Amino acid sequence: MNLSKTSKGIGGRGFSFDPLRDRWAAAPGSARWGVYALLIVGAILLPSEAVGSFMAGGGGDWATLLSDQITIYILLGLGLNIVVGMAGLLDLGYVAFYAVGGYTIGIFASKFGWHFWETLILAILFSALAGVLLGAPTLRLRGDYLAIVTLGFGEIVKKTVNNTQYVNGPRGIQGIPHPPTLSEFEILGVQPLKYGLLDSRPYYYLLLLFIIVAIIFTKRMERSRVGRAWASIREDEDAAELMGVPTFKFKLAAFALGAAIGGSGGVVFAAKQTSINPENFTFLVSALILAAVVLGGSGNIPGVILGAFVVAWLPERFRELSDYRMLIFGLALMTMMIFRPEGLWPSRQRKAELAEGTGGMGSMGAEVAGPDTAGPGTAGHTAEVGK
């Protein structure tokens, strides 16, 4: 964020958030808190009808779209961002942790009558544990090997659940209780703490709370020793190892933390839907969340939120296009990557990393400075290829 080394090479071209960032960095603390407060107020007012009439398309309910898809994607995007954006580990099976969360509440709430908040804590622990269990044997793998292993893990979780009678196999678990209503108080026609079926707004507020907690948590991490260790791993793992960073430990931590956030998303999803089945947790969800992270600007929290919003909202908004909406969505993903390969709203540090080399995202091979290739973008590939 406050990196002094701004790269003119990439930062200078086209639309950029840099002027905004400079002012932000120079703004006094009170002004920043003012903006935070405004953002939160905006988020609270977001599900109102006035916004919804434009945002929801094709007869869907805006508040439900917000709570069931957009905020869930944002929360999952923030979780995956820790793994992909911060530690630079490519995870294609993130949906597995989302599933672990969902099934934890499914089992403990419907079979043992546990309380929502109890299962939430348990689910966070279980998902983190699943992250460690997957990470411990596989985090020695680099790059794309890790990607396929995580993809495989996602499929293993889904298929195992599908074949297990205890969780009703393909039928899944029904009758998952809503979170208990905390209070009936009403404000502006909303009962924000009453969790029923008809009004989705309370779930939206619950998820909003989760998102705020996740953001604060991630920000604190990013600025701590852990965040710096992740940055060093993502930029050059070998160098980090040589400098004495216990890379394995920090990679495992990234996996566990990302998984925990994914698991908490699964809990709310299950409690909102009241039923889950293995089909909720397909590979496409992993792919879309990864797309959200990269599209928004891997490693940058506002970017990830924007990316998740776009990925969850676009196909729903344009329901009227029915069959063609996924066609256009695919095309939009391609186009956006071509015109903003660093993401819609990348962090300045990542841009600088990208300008210097791989930016932790790995560079393509066969990418040699040609007449129209950006000079600095090519320096980092030899190490990759030579492996």
Partner 1 sequence: MERLGTLRRNMMRVTGAVAMSAVLALGAGACGGGDDDKSGGDGITIGFMGDLTGENSGLVIPPYQGAQLAVEQYNATNPKTKVTLKKYDSQGKPEQATTLAQGAIKNDKITAMIGPAFSGESQSVAPILEEAKIPSVTPSATNITLAEKGWKFWHRAVADDAVQGNGAGGFIADQIKAKKVFTAHDNQDYGKGLAESIANVVKPKGAQVEADGVDEKATDYSSTVNKIKQFNPEIVYFGGYYSVAGKLFKQLREAGYTGKMMSGDGSLAAGLVESTGQKNAQGALLSCGCVIDAAGKVSPKSKKFADEYKAKFGSDVAIYSSEGYDAATALLEAIKAGKTSSGDINDFLKTVSFEGVGKQIKFDDKGELASQDIYVYEVKDNTIPLLGKSNEAKPTS
Partner 2 sequence: MLDNFVNQFWPSTIDGLSLGAIYALIALGYTMVYGVLRLINFAHAEIFMVGTFASVFTVQALGLSDVGGLGLIGVVVVLALVSGLVSGGSAVLLEAAAYRPLRKRGASRLAALISAIGASIFIQQLFATIVVPLLFDTSKEAGKLPVNEHFVTRSNVIDFGPITISNDRLIVFLGAILMMIALDQFVNRTKLGRGIRSTAQDPETAVLMGVNIDRVVTATFLVGGIMAGVAAALYIVRFEQAWYFSGFLLGIKAFTAAVLGGIGNIRGALVGGFALGLFEAYGASIFGSGWKDVVAFSVLILVLMFRPTGILGESLQQARA
Task: Determine if 144 is a binding residue for partner 1 (CB under 8 A).
Answer: no
**End-to-end Cα distance, the chain:** 31
Residues ≥6 apart with Cβ < 8 Å to 214: 75, 78, 79, 261
Phi then psi for 182, rounded to 5 degrees? -90, -35
Contacts to partner 2 by CB under 8 A:
84, 90, 137-138, 140-142, 144-145, 147-149, 151-153, 155-156, 159-160, 162-163, 283, 287, 290-291, 294-295, 298, 323-324, 326-327, 329-334, 337-338, 341-343, 354, 358-359, 361-368, 370, 372-374, 376-378, 381-382, 384-387
Minimum Å distance from CB 366 to partner 2? Answer: 5
Query: Please, what is the minimum distance in Å from the beta carbon of residue 254 to partner 2?
Result: 16
Q: How far is the CB of 344 from partner 2 (least distance, A)?
A: 12
Distance (Å, whole) CA 285 – CA 268: 16
Asked if 63 is part of the footprint of partner 1 (rule: CB under 8 A), the reply reads yes
Determine if 332 is a binding residue for partner 1 (CB under 8 A): yes
Which parts of 14-53 interact with partner 1 (CB under 8 A)? 14-15
| Distance of closest approach, residue 53 Cβ to partner 1, in angstroms | 9
Closest approach of partner 1 to the CB of residue 200, in Å: 7
Q: Report how far apart, in Å, the C-alpha atoms of 310 and of each of 82, 112, 217 are.
A: 19, 38, 23
**Contact flag: residue 322 with partner 1 (CB under 8 A):** yes
Distances (CA, A) of 153 to 93, 94, 99, 269, 357: 6, 9, 12, 21, 30
Beta carbons of 269 and 75 less than 8 angstroms apart: no
Distances in Å between the alpha carbon of 241 and those of 100, 230, 232, 386?
32, 11, 9, 18
If the CB atoms of residues 251 and 381 are measured against partner 2, the closer one turns out to be 381
- Taking the least distance from each CB to partner 2, the nearer of 200 and 247 is 247
Q: Quick check: helix, strand or coil at residue 276?
A: strand
Q: Which does 113 bind (CB under 5 to 8 A by kind): partner 1, partner 2, none?
A: none
DSSP 183-244: ----BTTB-TT---SS--HHHHHHHHHHHHHHHHHHHHHHTSHHHHHHHHHHH-HHHHHHTT
Q: Which residues contact 275 (CB under 8 A, 6 or more apart)?
A: 172, 173, 174, 175, 176
Instruction: Choose the stretch contacting partner 1; rule: CB under 8 A; options: 54-62, 82-90, 92-100, 224-232.
Output: 54-62
By the rule CB under 8 A, 302 interacts with partner 1: no
- In the bound state with partner 1, the residue whose beta carbon lies nearer, of 56 and 240, is 56
Q: Which residues bind partner 1 (CB under 8 A)?
A: 12-15, 56-61, 63-65, 68-69, 162-163, 169-172, 174-175, 196-198, 200, 273-275, 277, 279-280, 316-323, 328, 331-332, 335-336, 338-340, 371-375
